[in-house]
């Protein structure tokens, strides 16, 4: 089953097809569309993303260098698995960074921003509880990206 190319969640337009392929594949990994251990077939990705294999290969090399993808001999690229210890360490670092980012952004947050954060939080809760129709994982990942962009925007406004 092929998945149609999705619009980029990042607000900036990519400069070239390599960057577009990189962003789309990474967003699909982050959004759990591609699961840990899932084999990534270059031909299928090229068809899904409506581009040649060259930018797909470049994107996979870049994602491999960043640790998002591993290369298994005689099998090809697959979405990386992370161990429990690595996950725990990552979550600890993320908690510290999010707390620091929140402290930096707090002076710039207004009433409209708080209302928007509440909307996103409630939408997140509805998806998590199964109250909304559709693919919950994809919807939840989209909401998390919106929250991340919202937080990043506020943090950038402060710095």
Domains with residue ranges and CATH for the chain = 17-79 (1.10.10.10), 84-158 (no CATH)
User: What would the pLDDT profile of 43-95 be if each residue is shown by its tens digit?
Assistant: 999 999 999 999 999 999 999 998 889 998 988 999 998 777 777 787 788 88
Q: Return the sign of the alpha-carbon dihedral for residues 141, 146, 152, 158.
A: negative
User: What would the pLDDT profile of 66-77 be if each residue is shown by its tens digit?
Assistant: 888 999 898 899
3 state DSSP class of 72: strand
Lowest mean pLDDT among 51-60, 70-79, 101-110, 132-141: 132-141
- Looking at the DSSP assignment, which residues form a beta bridge with residue 71? 77
User: What would the pLDDT profile of 8-47 be if each residue is shown by its tens digit?
Assistant: 444 455 578 999 999 999 989 887 788 888 999 999 999 9
pLDDT exceeds cutoff 60 at 137: no
Q: What is the pLDDT of residue 148?
A: 59
Residue (of 40, 13, 15, 11) closest to 28 by Cα position:
40
């Amino acid at each position: 089953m092929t998945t149609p190319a999705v619009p980029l969640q990042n607000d900036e337009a990519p400069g070239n097809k390599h960057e577009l392929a990189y962003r789309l594949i990474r967003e699909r990994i982050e959004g759990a569309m591609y699961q840990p251990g899932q084999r990534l077939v270059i031909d299928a990705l090229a068809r899904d993303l409506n581009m040649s294999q060259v930018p797909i290969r470049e994107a996979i090399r870049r994602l491999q260098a960043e640790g998002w993808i591993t290369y298994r001999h005689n099998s090809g690229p697959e979405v990386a698995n992370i161990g429990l210890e690595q996950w725990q360490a990552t979550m600890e670092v993320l908690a510290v960074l999010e707390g620091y980012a929140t402290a930096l952004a707090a002076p710039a947050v207004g009433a409209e921003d708080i209302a928007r954060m509440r909307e996103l939080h409630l939408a997140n809760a509805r998806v998590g509880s199964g109250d909304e129709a559709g693919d919950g994982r994809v919807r939840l990942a989209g909401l998390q990206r919106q929250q991340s962009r919202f937080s990043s925007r506020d943090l950038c406004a402060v710095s």
